[in-house]
Structure 1
Amino acid sequence: MTRLGFLLDSESCIGCHACTVACKAEHDVPIGVNRTWVKYIETGTFPDVGRHFSVMRCNHCDDAPCISICPTNALFRADNGVVDFDDDNCIGCKGCMNACPYDAIYINPATNTANKCNFCNHRIEQGLEPSCVVVCPTHAIKVADLDDPADEVTGLIARSETAVRAPEQNTQPKVYYRGADAASLDPLRTAIADDGMIWADTTAQHPTADLGGDGVVARTAYTTAHEMTWKAKVSSYLVTKAVAAGMMMVAALLVLLGHGGEQAAVGVVPPVVAGVFLALTAVLLVGDLKRPERFYYLITRGNRRSWLVKGAAVLGGFAAVSAAWFVAGAVESEGALQVLAAPAALLGLATAGYTAFLFAQCEGRDLWQSPLVLPTLLAQAVVAGGAGYAVMELAVDGPAPVAVQWVLLAGVLATAMLVAAELLGRGTPHVEAAVAAMARGRYARQFWIGGVALGLVVPAVLVAVSLAVDSGPVLAAVAGICAVAGMWCYEDSFVRAGQSVPLS
């Protein structure tokens, strides 16, 4: 058995970028993205300063989260242990990019598919070394067969003091660093200075630097930029499916409370609204793919371990139950609605909550690993369901408007408590850096004004007033609209803050 890995000798590296250039030439890598690159950091204060080099690339992990999350098996493990990719299978979902704790994967702008270092496997299969190994003038890059105790480089790894990147992620990386400055391997211990980097225009700060440099011990003098992958479409999809799920969950509750005979408010309008928002969810999900024309690969080439595939199955099941609910409501079959109530409620919960398990597969984003993500998504679905019914009652007389307002208020209060727990809790340095970006950094205004004030405080006050003075449906409807708008602000800040922490 062969299990290939790299030994990167930072003591020998001179920062010449020959490996980067050779990699680009070998694989025709476009400008602006890299499979391998050299990171420079500077330590100390003048005149006692030093510059350190570290080669960054895919770590070909034994427990590779990119393989698990890939919905179409576009990322796979070759027989020699290398994590390789197949352009023909990739749909450009970008899940692998958030799953990778090493910023090693990029979207190739020429093919709109995910690419990365693949160990020059085409060369390995011909008995040749990777191009970066061939051109390195100081032999700082070495290939090891980690399953061969007689292998010279494997013995060197065993005898030397080596380190790996992000060992806390437990991905079992197979790229070992010898002589690397610890700060070079931990992006939270370095920061880009206000005057930027050499050979680069960026002056962007990461959250640790934004907070005054706690933990920062070195300056990042050169590295490769990595764009944020999931943005407004993903934030919006979290809200649209919450509305769809919430409407059917509240409708199921009303059926169980004996209101199944209300054709419009229970039997017809909820599945119609759910269908519209499920359609929007599908449009957002497919629209966010870099290769949207391949979306059906989720079915024809699906990886059952991926929550992108499991989530698609959940959405499909929920759509089917919603359609059956509409038919039962249209023919006024209260008995059928009673039979469908439990499946609708359970699939509504699954629709609202499965993204927590998808986020959990994104090993590179510690904020998304929180156990509070699932209950928060479920509480938001309750808010969205109450909000949807509150707005619906402006046009359709609902069977239990006061109960709907209590549902909305309960969801808002539960969400507020969960958000507070997220802010006040402790976590890994990555979690705390992401929370800092959300609550005190670049996303703070959106989070506090949109997510908290508009999405939680205003709805709670409006619903409380409506319940106290029996003001009719208007205040509750306004509260519902504010709650859903604020939900988007919160989700967008949460999604972006989770990706704001540098990984390389």
Structure 2
Amino acid sequence: MTRLGFLLDSDSCIGCHACTIACKSEHDVPLGVNRTWVKYIETGKFPDASRHFSVMRCNQCEDAPCMTICPTNALFRADNGVVDFQDDNCIGCKSCMNACPYDALFINPETNTAQKCNFCNHRIEVGLEPSCVVVCPTEAIKVVDFDNPSDPVAKIIGREDVAVRSPEQNTKPKVFYKGANQASLDPTRTKINADGMIWADTTPDHRQTPVLDHKGHGDAGIVARTAYTTSHKTTWDMMVSGYLVTKAIAGGIMMMAALMMVLGHADKQAAVGIVPPIVAGIMLALTGGLLVGDLKQPKRFYYLLTKSNFDSWLVKGAYVLSAFAALSAVWFLLGAADATSALQVIAIPTALFGAATAGYTAFLFGQCEGRDLWQTPLLLPMLLARAVIAGASAYAILDVAMDIPSPRAVWWALLGGVIAIAFLSWVELQSKGSRHVEMAIADMTKGAQKQFFQGGLVFGMLLPAVLTIIALAIDIDTPIIVAVAGLSALFGMFLSETSFVRAGQSVPLS
């Protein structure tokens, strides 16, 4: 199989944007989005200042994370090795945008599907070169066939000092840069100054959280300024953080119901057999609504099951949610029939699928190679701890309207979950990760997401812990205090998830 790639010669590039315009014309790309574009950075100070140009585009990765995460095979590898896309399969989930470490994908505002550079495959198939190659006045863009040992461009790559973007991501990109300034290839080493330049205005979509050095000074490691670039809006936002909370409640309350059975309360028909699966069903319906509502092509949501890519955790998650919904429905029917023995049989599998419902997103976020903050191994235990908090909170709130068995066990579960989250969060903030992780944590704790993060600490940890400890210490009879603690915990969970989801996407990738 032929493997095609590009050599981008920054030594020859004059920053004329002919490639950008040719690409827009060739593919009828709407205003505001680009398949390829030219980035400008400036180094040094007057009078010893220099401007550097780098063409930004899809890197046609050998190990393409966008293909792995795409739930409907809308992104696929053509016979020539190019990562191409099929609009008709795309559901607009935007997962590929977070999986790509190169900021190469965008949602076309006219088709509401994900698109990117596809190497002008329609031209390649008839023996023509990509439009950007044809129009480049300095021949700074060259096609390379990596499977042709006599290819002259491949020989240049073999003997010259060339570089690729984000090599640490191990995607094996097939776009090489010759003569490019490293600061141009690493957007964390440049900064957009708010100094009035018309093409480099600072906007919310261009936010760049500074990295702090050991003395707390900002902009550590910045070696150049960005003079011309492009941006993308935040891909996933509050609908995603909301769905993290709703499915945590769904999974958590069934885990708590299974715990009630272990504690010998299988005979409590309402509190164990009927109400928990009803709550889980409502929360699963909200979860599905949030997931479908966040799609750019919501009418195609069933493609998750009909055109499934089983490498994607979006697909695996859909099947986990479906299985958990089925078990919860069976639980409800058995509970309504007061079939205690049968309920005890399905308690463990339901609890396990409840945990899977709450925790599978850790593996989905793990497939988002472009978002280093989400790669933390602590994410799965954090999501499971949040499920315990959510389930205990739901039971504590229900205790106001109905009698639940072993309320103190629920209180202890709530307190234990809060303590676990507090500890895991502390460990995460203390750990040293990549520069991307440092910038994301800075955005979360000191930057644009500071209020959400602090709100999560107060409402999600401090207040629930204090109220629950008071309730346990004075052995109160009223469930109101712990119910308030549960409501606070759920609200704080939403704030924390929002800060985490947004901060992970705050680091520039191009």
Same fold (TM over 0.5): yes
> Does the CA contact (< 8 Å) of 1:65 and 1:96 recur in 2?
yes
Asked whether 1:377 is paired with 2:383, we answer yes
Q: Give the corresponding residue for 1:161.
A: 161
Partners in 1 of 2:253 and 2:327 — Cα distance? 13
Q: Give the corresponding residue for 2:309.
A: 303
Q: Give the corresponding residue for 1:86.
A: 86
Partners in 2 of 1:261 and 1:379 — Cα distance? 27
> Does the CA contact (< 8 Å) of 1:196 and 1:202 recur in 2?
no
Partners in 1 of 2:137 and 2:317 — Cα distance? 48
1:200 is displaced (CA, Å) by: 4.7
Which of 490, 497, 501 lines up with 1:491 in the alignment?
Answer: 497
Partners in 2 of 1:317 and 1:31 — Cα distance? 43
Q: Give the corresponding residue for 1:364.
A: 370
Residues 311-370 of structure 1: per-residue CA shift (max 9 Å, x gap):
000000000000000011111111011001101110011001000000000000000000
Which of 460, 464, 472 lines up with 2:469 in the alignment?
Answer: 464
Which of 372, 382, 388 lines up with 2:394 in the alignment?
Answer: 388
Q: Give the corresponding residue for 1:206.
A: 208
> 3-state DSSP class of the match of 1:41?
strand
Partners in 1 of 2:208 and 2:342 — Cα distance? 54
Q: Give the corresponding residue for 2:141.
A: 141
Asked whether 1:248 is paired with 2:254, we answer yes
Asked whether 1:422 is paired with 2:428, we answer yes
1:205 is displaced (CA, Å) by: 3.6
Asked whether 1:29 is paired with 2:29, we answer yes
Residues 213-269 of structure 1: per-residue CA shift (max 9 Å, x gap):
111100000001111110010000000000000000000011122100001111111
Partners in 2 of 1:156 and 1:208 — Cα distance? 37
> Does the CA contact (< 8 Å) of 1:274 and 1:322 recur in 2?
yes
Partners in 2 of 1:112 and 1:34 — Cα distance? 14
Partners in 2 of 1:17 and 1:412 — Cα distance? 53
Within-5 A mapping of 1:53-452: 53-195=53-195, 197-203=197-203, 204-208=206-210, 212-448=218-454, 450-452=455-457
Amino acid at match of 2:291: L
Partners in 1 of 2:53 and 2:197 — Cα distance? 14
Amino acid at match of 1:186: D
Q: Give the corresponding residue for 1:480.
A: 486
Partners in 2 of 1:263 and 1:97 — Cα distance? 46
CA spacing shift, 1:301–1:196, aligned 2, 3 Å: farther
Partners in 2 of 1:464 and 1:153 — Cα distance? 69
> 3-state DSSP class of the match of 1:8?
strand
Give the 4+ runs in structure 1 shifted more than 2 A: 196-205, 208-211
> Does the CA contact (< 8 Å) of 2:40 and 2:227 recur in 1?
yes
Amino acid at match of 1:306: S
- For these two proteins, the number of residue pairs brought into alignment is 503
Amino acid at match of 1:459: P
Amino acid at match of 2:227: A
Partners in 2 of 1:125 and 1:196 — Cα distance? 45
> 3-state DSSP class of the match of 1:122?
helix
Partners in 2 of 1:396 and 1:268 — Cα distance? 12
Partners in 2 of 1:326 and 1:197 — Cα distance? 62
Partners in 2 of 1:391 and 1:329 — Cα distance? 21
Partners in 2 of 1:340 and 1:2 — Cα distance? 52
1:445 is displaced (CA, Å) by: 1.6
Residues 411-453 of structure 1: per-residue CA shift (max 9 Å, x gap):
01001111111111110000110001001111112101x1101
Partners in 1 of 2:13 and 2:177 — Cα distance? 11
Q: Which moved more, 1:208-217 or 1:221-230?
A: 208-217
1:147 is displaced (CA, Å) by: 1.1
Gaps of 5+ in 2: none
> 3-state DSSP class of the match of 2:76?
strand
Partners in 2 of 1:225 and 1:266 — Cα distance? 50
> Does the CA contact (< 8 Å) of 2:211 and 2:438 recur in 1?
no
1:209 is displaced (CA, Å) by: 6.2
Q: Which moved more, 1:205-214 or 1:454-463?
A: 205-214
> 3-state DSSP class of the match of 1:327?
helix
Residues 182-213 of structure 1: per-residue CA shift (max 9 Å, x gap):
00000100010022544354354411268621
Gaps of 5+ in 1: none
> 3-state DSSP class of the match of 1:88?
helix
Amino acid at match of 2:51: R
Sequence identity percentage: 67
> 3-state DSSP class of the match of 2:360?
helix
Normalising to structure 2: TM-score of the pair?
A: 0.98
> Does the CA contact (< 8 Å) of 2:207 and 2:506 recur in 1?
no
Amino acid at match of 1:379: A
CA spacing shift, 1:361–1:196, aligned 2, 3 Å: farther
> 3-state DSSP class of the match of 2:350?
helix
1:93 is displaced (CA, Å) by: 0.2
> Does the CA contact (< 8 Å) of 1:208 and 1:215 recur in 2?
no
> Does the CA contact (< 8 Å) of 2:194 and 2:201 recur in 1?
no
Partners in 2 of 1:328 and 1:411 — Cα distance? 29
Amino acid at match of 2:231: A
Amino acid at match of 2:470: V
Partners in 2 of 1:363 and 1:67 — Cα distance? 12
> 3-state DSSP class of the match of 2:400?
coil
Q: CA RMSD in A?
A: 0.9
